[in-house]
């Protein structure tokens, strides 16, 4: 059962069910089993304390900095862990600093004054959140809420701006990240403003998700559905009922098949046709 | 009405008012050396969505319309870019295709810098890189505003939402 999102709360407490499941299927929350020994860690995350020894450094745009810059970054960052459902920052809030997502995923959304929500994207590890607001000093443009337990490295605004002034490489990486975000935002504008129907948008989204994690080349790619039907509706600008109906139709036509939260795309060609590709 | 071409950035009277152009002398000199100036008539397409990013275009004066297109030819205007703005920046920095099509709305002077030269310039001049970061933040802010305007007007009918540009 997926916990319901309460728009009014700033931090949502982790449900008991989540705690029981744990992160690695371990029945006791917060206990990581490594090599037969139990290691206590928050939310079952293995916290990476130092960027310099992080094994994933080279795969990530922002993190792949020369040692001197990374050492300076180490001095200004605060490594923190958040449970699922924690709100890192809220749209309209004055920018406190950046949040480098080390582990886990975060939902980025925009809200209208009458409570409608649009999910812009799901941020993956390696992404720097709150970047444009921190750089410009303008309020955060999006709300960031974790959908997994996350490790996040927070850097205060003044420390980050000083860091950028002193390290040209880091400045360039930030430019690259901002470019990627802009690309994504333009993609959203195109998708929201020009797509014919919810069916087309859903098909596009499923194709995009199925192209990740090495599944792109497969005839029948798999994808793990990380979002509820309501959240998917918020991503493509339609209603939850429409998304549920569309999924039912796709399953009936045997274009997709679901096993729990894993979706198998049986007929990629039909899905592409639906997406208008 | 065509204005005289400003060949050197140092001669430009509007420089201090513009985010990118207000650079220290050594960076400005380097930028002067890598740019090529041209006068483009109204209606010229500077670059097209989906094409590989050749370089960046600085609008010295005049305006350009930035649009996105669907597979079946329907076009949506993202925004109107004004003087002092640098177009194609995000594509040039990240090496991805241009995200939008840019079409001149006025007869204008435009400074073009090749991608390779721009990247080298940004790596050599930290001040310019920081200015570019600020420019990209602004671009992103505008794009999010557009997403908000389009995406949060949820209508029952199928089809694009018509919003004023």
In a domain, B75, yes or no: yes
Asked if residue B157 has pLDDT above 70, the reply is no
In a domain, B164, yes or no: no
A132 vs B138: CA distance, rounded Å: 8
CB A98 within 8 A of CB A131: yes
In a domain, B22, yes or no: yes
Q: With an 8 Å Cβ cutoff, are B151 and A194 in contact?
A: no
Which residues of chain A neighbour B24 with C-beta distances below 8 Å? none
CB A131 within 8 A of CB A149: no
CATH code for the domain in which residue B111 is found: 2.60.120.10
In a domain, B2, yes or no: no
In a domain, B7, yes or no: no
Q: Closest partner residue to A136 among B89, B132, B137, by Cβ?
A: B137
Q: Token digits for B106?
A: 């006025």
pLDDT (average), residues B77-81: 88
Residue whose token pair is 């080298």: B120
Selected for mutation to probe chain B from A65, A194, A275 (highest B CB count within 10 Å) is A194
Instruction: Confirm whether pTM is higher than 0.90.
Output: no
The domain tally of chain B equals: 1
B156 vs B153: CA distance, rounded Å: 10
In a domain, B113, yes or no: yes
pLDDT score recorded for residue A40: 67
pLDDT (average), residues A64-84: 91
Name the DSSP letter for residue A112. Answer: -
**Domains identified in chain A and CATH numbers:** 41-194 (2.60.120.10), 198-274 (1.10.10.10)
Q: With an 8 Å Cβ cutoff, are A276 and B71 in contact?
A: yes
Lowest mean pLDDT among A131-135, B16-20, B155-159: B155-159
Q: Token digits for A249?
A: 């139709």
Burial A231-269 (b: 16+ CB within 10 A, else e): bbbbbbbbeeebbeebbeebeeeebbeeeeeebebbbbe
pLDDT score recorded for residue B4: 57
Q: How many CB atoms lie within 10 A of CB A131?
A: 23
Q: Token digits for B19?
A: 């985010």
The pair phi, psi for residue B25, each rounded to 5°, is -55, -40
- CA nearest B37: which of B3, B16, B10, B6? B6
Q: What rounded mean pLDDT belongs to chain A?
A: 81
Q: What is the per-residue pLDDT across A151-203, written as a single tens digit (0 to 9) for each? A: 999 999 999 999 999 998 889 889 988 998 998 888 888 877 777 688 988 99
Asked if residue B164 has pLDDT above 80, the reply is no
B66 vs B77: CA distance, rounded Å: 6
pLDDT (average), residues A117-143: 92
Asked if residue A13 has pLDDT above 80, the reply is no
B109 vs A232: CA distance, rounded Å: 45
Q: Token digits for B136?
A: 């990209």
pLDDT (average), residues B97-114: 94
Residue whose token pair is 């000083």: A162
Q: Where are the beta strands (DSSP E) in chain B?
A: 35-40, 45-47, 55-59, 64-69, 75-81, 86-87, 101-104, 108-114
Asked if residue A108 has pLDDT above 90, the reply is yes
pLDDT score recorded for residue A93: 95
Name the DSSP letter for residue A8. Answer: T
Flag whether residue B116 sits within 8 Å of chain A, measured between CB atoms: no
Q: With an 8 Å Cβ cutoff, are A192 and B126 in contact?
A: no
Q: With an 8 Å Cβ cutoff, are A178 and B140 in contact?
A: yes
Q: What is the per-residue pLDDT across A224-259, written as a single tens digit (0 to 9) for each? A: 887 889 888 888 878 899 999 999 999 999 999 988
A48 vs B63: CA distance, rounded Å: 48
B136 vs A178: CA distance, rounded Å: 6
Flag whether residue A54 sits within 8 Å of chain B, measured between CB atoms: no
In a domain, B77, yes or no: yes
Share of chain B above pLDDT 70, in %: 88
In a domain, B165, yes or no: no
- CA nearest A136: which of B128, B127, B137, B142? B137
- Whole domain around residue B89: which residue ranges? 16-148
């Amino acid at each position: 059962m997926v916990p319901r999102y309460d728009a009014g709360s700033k931090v949502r407490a982790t449900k008991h069910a989540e705690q029981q499941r744990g992160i690695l299927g371990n029945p006791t929350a917060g206990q990581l089993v490594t090599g037969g020994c139990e290691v206590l860690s928050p939310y079952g995350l293995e916290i990476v304390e130092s960027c310099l020894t992080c094994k994933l450094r080279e795969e990530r745009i922002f993190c792949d900095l020369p040692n001197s810059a990374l050492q300076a970054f180490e001095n200004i960052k605060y490594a923190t862990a958040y449970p699922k459902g924690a709100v890192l920052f809220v749209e309209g809030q004055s920018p406190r600093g950046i949040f480098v997502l080390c582990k886990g995923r975060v939902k980025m959304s925009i809200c209208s004054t009458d409570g409608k929500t649009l999910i812009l994207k799901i941020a993956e590890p390696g992404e720097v959140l709150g970047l444009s607001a921190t750089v410009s000093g303008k309020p955060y443009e999006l709300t960031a809420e974790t959908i997994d337990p996350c490790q996040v490295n927070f850097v205060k605004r003044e420390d980050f701006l000083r860091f950028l002034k002193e390290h040209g490489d880091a400045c360039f990486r930030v430019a690259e990240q901002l470019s990627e975000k802009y690309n994504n935002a333009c993609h959203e504008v195109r998708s929201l403003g020009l797509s014919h129907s919810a069916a087309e948008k859903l098909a596009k989204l499923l194709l995009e998700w199925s192209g990740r994690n090495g599944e792109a080349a497969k005839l029948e790619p798999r994808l793990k559905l990380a979002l509820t039907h309501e959240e998917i509706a918020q991503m493509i600008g339609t209603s939850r009922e429409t998304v549920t109906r569309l999924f039912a139709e796709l399953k009936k036509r045997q274009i997709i098949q679901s096993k729990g939260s894993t979706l198998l795309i049986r007929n990629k060609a039909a899905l592409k046709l639906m997406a208008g590709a | 009405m065509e204005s005289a071409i400003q060949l050197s950035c140092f001669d430009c009277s509007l420089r201090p008012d513009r985010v990118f152009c207000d650079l220290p002398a050594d960076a400005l000199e380097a930028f002067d050396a890598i740019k090529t100036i041209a006068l483009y008539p109204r209606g010229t397409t500077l670059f097209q969505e989906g094409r590989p990013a050749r370089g960046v275009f600085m609008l010295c004066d005049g305006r350009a319309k930035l649009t996105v297109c669907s597979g079946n030819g329907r076009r949506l205007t993202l925004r109107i870019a004004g003087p002092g703005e640098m177009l194609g920046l995000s594509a040039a920095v990240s090496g991805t295709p241009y995200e939008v099509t840019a079409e001149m709305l006025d007869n204008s002077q435009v400074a073009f810098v090749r991608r390779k030269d721009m990247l080298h310039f940004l790596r050599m001049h930290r001040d310019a890189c920081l200015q570019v970061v600020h420019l990209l933040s602004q671009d992103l802010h505008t794009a999010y505003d557009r997403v908000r305007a389009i995406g949060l007007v949820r209508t029952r009918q199928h089809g694009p939402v018509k919003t004023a540009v």
